[in-house]
Amino acid sequence: MLVSGVLQFHRCSICHFSRRISSFIGQSRMSSSHPVAALCQMTATHDKAANFATGARLVEEARAAGASMVFLPEGFDYIGSNLQQTLQLSESLTGDTITRYSELARKVGVWLSLGGFHERGENWETKQRIYNSHVIINEQGDIVSVYRKGHLFDVELTGKGVSLKESAFTIPGPALVPPVQTPIGKVGLAVCYDLRFPEHSLALQRHGAEILTYPSAFTVATGTAHWEVLLRARAVETQCYVLAAAQVGPHHAKRSSYGHALAVDPWGTVLSDLGATEPGLALVEVDLQKLRDTRRDMPVQQHRREAEYYGSLETD
């Protein structure tokens, strides 16, 4: 049901999913006086065609329910079974995957946040390295912003079954990109592991971000320990909405994702949690007046001291 500006549901199959959302379309449109974002959860594999079919259905159903912007998770294009496959399946921004999503956005008239796209880097034939890119596409099908993930997940958690060195095949992005004006507000871009760096979110907030988005494929171990608390912290410290689309469940024999795609309001209240078992989506009203009221009532950014104050512990 629609509660506190959120309509969410899961699906055991695409057909069942479609029937459930169809019954809610009228209610969601009548209930919402604010722009609506759709937060998606999926289970990608190496099968790019199947992944696109799932992503396209989610986008189409979200748009039919009144969403003006749809957020897909990191690895929406695919999650490879090994390094060789991960590199082999990568594409450029002019390749088939982004082209198909651009056509979809234009056809249904919706903005897309495509986080964690495997983008081939410069001098691909000789270097064989990729970017982990967050692509924003408008309702005309145009790419309006590309952020390349700056913080790479090089982690070895002994005893927890987590071992990944993203820098072995991924190029760190050179810089943040300005928040993007969208139908739901100004969206600041990040990807997954960027979530752990508050400097990133604070910089985006200072440059006008009203919504922060963290498309992710968190591991089960790190997600269980840190996912919700980090997302809520980013919302509280920036007084922004936080939207985090997520991968869920097993991608192949050696990798599973935590799920729990999450929407958080500027007060730190969790608006939606899509759980740990099934793909699905949530519709979230973005109330920018609530954001302004939160910032007015607790003017954290006005209370922030000058840069020299925070650097006063530094020594030459």
DSSP the chain: -EETTEEEEE-SSHHHHHHHHHTTHHHHHHH-SS-EEEEEEE---S-HHHHHHHHHHHHHHHHHTT-SEEEEPTTSS---SSHHHHHHT-B-TTSHHHHHHHHHHHHHT-EEEEEEEEEE-TTHHHH--EEEEEEEE-TTS-EEEEEE--S--EEEETTTTEEEEGGGTBPPPS-----EEETTEEEEE--GGGGG-HHHHHHHHHTT-SEEE--B--BHHHHHHHHHHHHHHHHHHHT-EEEE-EEEEEEETTEEEE---EEE-TTS-EEEE--SS--EEEEEE--HHHHHHHHHHS-HHHHPPPHHHHTTT---
Domain count, the chain: 1
The parent domain of residue 220 ranges over 2-298
- Taking every pair of Cα atoms in the chain, the longest distance, rounded to a whole number of angstroms, is 65
What's the CATH code of the domain at 139? 3.60.110.10
Q: Quick check: is 74 catalytic?
A: yes
Asked whether residue 312 is assigned to any structural domain, the reply reads no
Task: Tell me the sheet residues that pair with 162.
Answer: 157
Distance between CA atoms of 92 and 98, rounded to whole angstroms? 8
The whole-angstrom separation of Cα 116 and Cα 42 is 13
Place of tokens 């960027």: 194
Tell me, what's the pLDDT at 209?
98
**Annotated catalytic, 107?**
no
In a domain, 309, yes or no: no
Please, which residues have CB within 8 angstroms of residue 267's CB and are 6 or more apart in sequence? 235, 236, 290, 294
122 as an active site residue: the answer is no
Euclidean distance between CA atoms 187 and 40, whole angstroms: 16
Tell me: the pLDDT tens digits for 184-222? 999 999 999 999 999 999 999 999 999 999 999 999 999
- Which residue in 192, 210, 240, 278 is the catalytic one? 192
Q: What is the pLDDT of residue 124?
A: 95
For 114, list phi and psi in degrees, rounded to 5.
-110, 95
pLDDT of res. 23: 35
pLDDT of residue 314: 86
Q: Is residue 310 part of a domain?
A: no
Q: What is the pLDDT of residue 194?
A: 98
The residue ranges of the chain whose pLDDT is under 70 are 1-32, 160-163, 315-316
Amino acid identity of 262?
Answer: L
In a domain, 316, yes or no: no
303 falls within a domain: no
Determine whether 135 is exposed, middle or buried from the number of CB atoms within 10 Å of its CB (0-12, 13-18, 19+).
buried
The active-site residue, picked from 40, 61, 74, 240, is: 74
The catalytic residue among 139, 149, 240, 278 is 149
Q: What is the pLDDT of residue 178?
A: 98
Considering the domain boundaries, does residue 222 fall inside one? yes
Determine the Cα–Cα distance for residues 315 and 48; give it in Å rounded to an integer.
52
Give the integer Cα–Cα distance in Å for 241 and 135: 19
> Distance between CA atoms of 300 and 211, rounded to whole angstroms?
17
pLDDT of residue 8: 61
| 57, part of any domain | yes
Give residue 262's pLDDT. 98
* Within a domain: 16: yes
Residue type, 120: R
Residues 268, 130: Cα–Cα separation, whole Å: 34
